[in-house]
Structure formats: C-alpha cells, structure tokens
Amino acid sequence: MNQKESFVIEGLAEERSLSGTVKVHGAKNAALKAMAASVLFAGPVELRNVPRNNDIETLSKILIRLGAKVAWQDDGALSIDTSAMSSTDIDAELAGSMRASVVLTGPLLARFGKVTFPAPGGCVIGARPIDLFLAGYEKMGATVTLDAGACVYRIESAKKLSGAEMFFNKVTVGGTETLMMTAVLASGKTVLKNCAMEPEIANVAEWLVSCGARIEGIGTPTMAIHGSGGALLQPRESYEAIPDRIEAGSFLILGALCASRLAIEGCRPDHLDAVIGVLRGSGAKIETAASRIVVEGSAGPEAYAAIADLRTHEYPGFPTDLQPVIVAYLTQASGESRIFETIYEGRFKYIEDLQKLGASITVMNPREISVKGATPLRAMAGDGDLTAHDIRAGFAVVMAALCGSGTFTVSNVHLIDRGYERLEQQLAALGASVQRIKAA
Ligand code: EPU
C-alpha cells in the first residue's frame, strides 16, 4: 500500500465518450466476512471470487498475525487455514485502518473464549460505536472490559457462550454478521431480531449452512441460529463471493454520466433495484439481463432530471455507499435534488471538493444536502486538486473530475484502493485518461 499516490485525470468535458465493458469483482464486504468466518472452521477453507484490494490484504495480515495461514492459490482462490491459530490479540495498528476487523472478534471469542482488540477510534467512546456487538457478547455470557490505558477491549467467557435473544435497536450489517457467526459455535439457540438484510450477509450465511451451520431466516429480519456447542465447522464447500453491488452501482452511475454506452458484466441487477430505479427516474436509459446491465449515457448534462428526495436506506433501499457517487451525478442533473443520509452522520466531507469545482451544493445539516444542477465542473487554477476522503467519496471525486473540464489531481488513492482494484486500469480500458503517479 502506497499512501503517497495520486491520480491525474483529464476531464472529458462535454465529450462523455467513455465506452466498453466493466467486469465486476467479487464483493469486498462479503469476502471480508467470509475471511473472518474462517476462524469457525476445523480445517483450511477455500474462498473464491475474492477481490484483491487493500482491505482484503489488511485482513489477511491480521489473520496471519493471529497464527492463520493465508495464501492466494494459482487458480485465484484464497485459502485460509486457522487450525493452528493460537493468538486472540487483534493487531491494533492494522485493525485501526479497517473497521471491518471488528467482525473477527465474534468468531475468536466463540472459538477461544477470549479476544482483545483496539477500541475503534481510539479511546473516544462513541466515536465509532460497537455497542451492539458488545451487548450481544454480554447476553451470550461474556464479560467486556475496556482497558482505558491501553485503549483495548478485553472480552472473555469462562464457559462456552450460550445462545441468547437479541434485538438490534439499530440495523447493523457488521453486528448482524458477527453475532450470527458467534452464535454458530455457541451452545443452544440464538435469535437475532431486526437484522440487516444486505445480500453479503446471506452470501456468507448460506456458505456456513453448506458446511454444517444451522441458520434459519437467512435474508430476513429475524434469524435463528442453533449453535454447535463449540464443534468447529467442516470445510465441505468452498465459498464464492457474490458480485460487488457497490462496484457495479458505482460504474452504473459513472456510465450514465460519462459514457456513450457501458456494459457492466458479471453483476446482479436484482441487488441494485433501488439504484436502477433512481437513475431511470432521473432519465437514464438502462437495460438489464440476468447478470448484466447496459447503460446508454446522455448526450449532455441537461438530459437528466434532479431527484427531489433521495434517502439512503438499509438494503434493499438506496445504499449509503453510493451516496457520494449519486451526488456527483446530481451536480449534472437539472433542478434541485435533496439528499438525506440516514445511515451515517458526517458522510459529506467530499462536498467541499465538488464545491471547489463549481458544484452548487448546500449542506443543510450533517445529514442533509441540497444540490442544484446542472453546473459545469472545472479545474480552476490550483483547484483541480481533489482528495479521496474514503473509498466511495474517492470514486465520487474521480467521477466528478472525469466529467469536468481540465486536469485534476486526486490524492489519497490508497483509500480508493481499499475497495476498488486498480481503478485507473478499469477506467483507461473505457477510454479515460487516468494516470497513477507518486505524489510529491
Ligand atoms: N452502529 C452502531 N452500533 C454498533 C454498530 C453499528 O451504532 O454496534 C451504527 C454505525 O455507527 C452506523 C450504522 O450503525 O451509523 C450502520 O453501521 P453498520 O454496522 O451497518 O456498518 P458496518 O457493518 O460497519 C458495512 C459496510 C460499509 C457500509 C455499511 C452500511 C463492511 C466492511 N462495511 O459497515 O461499507 O457503509 O455496512 O451499509 O461491510 C464501504 O464498503 O465503503 C463501506 C463503508
């Protein structure tokens, strides 16, 4: 991972001339959880269609430090063997760069009866809440201690964890997955209510079931898990990650804005109903088949209409991860759009970058913005320098640069690399001019 790389992007201005085909990778947010689930197994597991991005590499390193063997095979599968794993101390530095590492805590606790891990966001309690994970562990019989000096949580259970009933007072993807995995090795029945229903959760749950786990209600708000009482799962079947719906959705929005025609292959259009609906509502021409989406781009920005009220929502609603990308799109749509971010507070940091290119965006409050379009996006003198604030905001500013006029630089490319694999190559194959350079 090189923290000092930037993209240099030539804007397409009025051209909107990208075209071609994008092949979607396996879903990062499913594969990461399958990697965490490897701790539940008695022998080596084989994970297929795993994308090679930085988050996957970071979690591999965390698993290796815990004593697992992790290796890419010649056929592209990732093999993970946790049978000789002994440590339960999650590496603080690595975990600090990736919140998803918290998902490992449940499987480690369920298998070894203890785990320590850094408090997310340091010791600022409440900064990145994991209260629902901790409440679940306590209900299952574990004791949670925050070592304030070391900024680590220690979670222990002298006895096997026991099944419990848990209602999530906030819908949480990671919490649902983690407590589901934890319950697989507990004793007795766990009932999880108000679960997240993201397809990545079902993808991992179905694999666990194929290897002997007993999970009912997969893909619904209530799941019941009959624990094995500690018996580890047998790696009967290999895991295969579903296509990454956020990568597919990112390219779909990009295609509508910057391409004459873009085909997105190897995806699941049925996982993108909300996004396709919003784009069609704004005037985009989209055709879908079983595993393919084709979008015909517009002749010019005036072709698209604003979206009066767009709210991010848990699946199957409009994904928060595509909120920055659709906002970049809406700068090019005619009229006023209102976007309400219901999942995260403070996911609007990238707005400043769009504003300095000329976008007309008003932040109403930490969860709501108004976008007035269409405004041309331009690299003014010295203002072509943009920053990727996180994975998805990074994609959004790249897209804004692509449909703007002038030469733009996007720094912090390592954050884009967390979730997209060599994005510059994917874009170059569509005809874009995007160079990766070492930043000064
Ligand atoms: N939350 C709590 N307490 C908890 C857990 C979560 O208050 O104990 C809150 C969070 O602070 C947040 C909300 O609940 O406000 C939803 O968080 P959730 O737990 O659902 O998110 P996550 O599991 O941490 C995953 C994805 C994110 C995606 C969200 C929402 C992974 C690795 N990450 O995060 O993906 O935004 O679900 O869909 O699966 C990305 O890929 O760029 C990304 C950020």
Provide the annotated active-site residues.
Answer: 123
- 320 Cβ closer than 6 Å to some ligand 1 atom: yes
**How far is ligand 1, taken at its centre, from the CA of residue 174, in Å?**
6
Tens of pLDDT, residue by residue over 30-74, are 999 999 999 999 999 999 999 999 999 999 999 999 999 999 999
Q: Relative to the CA of 135, which ligand 1 atom is closest? A: 8
**How far is ligand 1, taken at its centre, from the CA of residue 210, in Å?**
26
For residue 121, count other CB atoms closer than 10 A to its CB: 15
- 172 Cβ closer than 6 Å to some ligand 1 atom: yes
Q: Among residues 221, 222, 223, which one has the least CA distance to residue 213?
A: 223
- 72 Cβ closer than 6 Å to some ligand 1 atom: no
Whether the ω angle into residue 235 lies within 30 degrees of 0, i.e. cis, is no
Spatial contact of 225 and 197, defined as CB atoms under 8 Å apart: no
Decide if pLDDT at 128 tops 70: no
Amino acid in position 402: L
**How far is ligand 1, taken at its centre, from the CA of residue 431, in Å?**
34
Helix (H, G, I), strand (E, B) or coil at 35: helix
Q: Among residues 271, 403, 267, 270, which one has the least CA distance to residue 332?
A: 403
**How far is ligand 1, taken at its centre, from the CA of residue 365, in Å?**
21
Listed in order, strand segments (DSSP E) in 194-246 are 214-216, 222-226, 239-240
Q: Whose CA is nearest to atom 25 of ligand 1?
A: 173
**How far is ligand 1, taken at its centre, from the CA of residue 437, in Å?**
31
- The best mutation among 32, 321, 417 to test binding of ligand 1, ranked by most ligand atoms within 8 Å of the C-beta, falls on 321
Q: In what order do the strands lie in the sheet with 434-438?
A: 385-387, 407-411, 5-10, 434-438
333: β partners: none
Q: What is the pTM of this model?
A: 0.96
> What's the CA gap between 323 and 392, in Å, rounded?
8
Task: Report the range of poorest mean pLDDT among 76-80, 129-133, 197-201, 338-342.
Answer: 129-133
- Buried b / exposed e along 369-393 (16+ C-beta atoms within 10 A): bebbbbbbbbbeeeebebbbbbbbb
Decide if pLDDT at 20 tops 70: yes
Q: How many Å is the Cα radius of gyration of the chain?
A: 22
- 99 Cβ closer than 6 Å to some ligand 1 atom: yes
Q: Relative to the CA of 32, which ligand 1 atom is closest? A: 32
- Count of residues making up the chain: 440
Tens of pLDDT, residue by residue over 266-324, are 999 999 999 999 999 999 999 999 999 999 987 665 689 999 999 999 999 999 999 99
Helix (H, G, I), strand (E, B) or coil at 173: helix
Q: Among residues 389, 428, 380, 426, which one has the least CA distance to residue 410?
A: 389
- 244 Cβ closer than 6 Å to some ligand 1 atom: no
Decide if pLDDT at 27 tops 80: yes
Label residue 122 by pLDDT band (50, 70, 90).
low
- 325 Cβ closer than 6 Å to some ligand 1 atom: no
Q: Relative to the CA of 196, which ligand 1 atom is closest? A: 20
Give, in order, the Cα–Cα distances in Å from 43 to each of 187, 213, 257, 283, 322.
21, 15, 47, 51, 37
> What's the CA gap between 359 and 341, in Å, rounded?
19
- 391 Cβ closer than 6 Å to some ligand 1 atom: yes
Listed in order, strand segments (DSSP E) in 218-367 are 222-226, 239-240, 259-265, 285-289, 292-296, 310-311, 335-340, 360-365
Decide if pLDDT at 382 tops 70: no
